[in-house]
Amino acid sequence: MPTAQIVKWGNSLAVRISKPVAEEAGVREGDPVVIEAAAGEISLRRRERIPTLKELVAQITAENRYDELAAGAERGKESVEW
């Protein structure tokens, strides 16, 4: 079992995660994590990452795209030229 040491980082404390442990857990720099503490134990788990709009739009294909829906006649300032 890998071990680590708690070190001071500014006014906070930090733990360095070794590369083999990070790879086994499937985490990388910038991944959001959840830290929970109780009864002398600290638990760290990866938080589900929220995809960016760019990543979501990149997943749009002709097969998973809906056709236009008729919404009736324009009213007010709805007319927009694209």
Q: Has residue 11 got a pLDDT over 70?
A: yes
Q: Has residue 79 got a pLDDT over 80?
A: no
Q: Has residue 72 got a pLDDT over 90?
A: no
In this structure, which amino acid lies at residue 45? Answer: R
Beta pairing partners, 8: 13
**Helix, strand, or coil (residue 14):** strand
Among residues 29, 33, 28, which one has the least CA distance to residue 45? 33
More confident residue, 64 or 1: 64
Integer-rounded Cα radius of gyration of the chain: 24
Q: Has residue 49 got a pLDDT over 80?
A: no
Q: Has residue 63 got a pLDDT over 90?
A: yes
Residue with tokens 């857990």: 25
Domains of the chain: 6-58 (2.10.260.10)
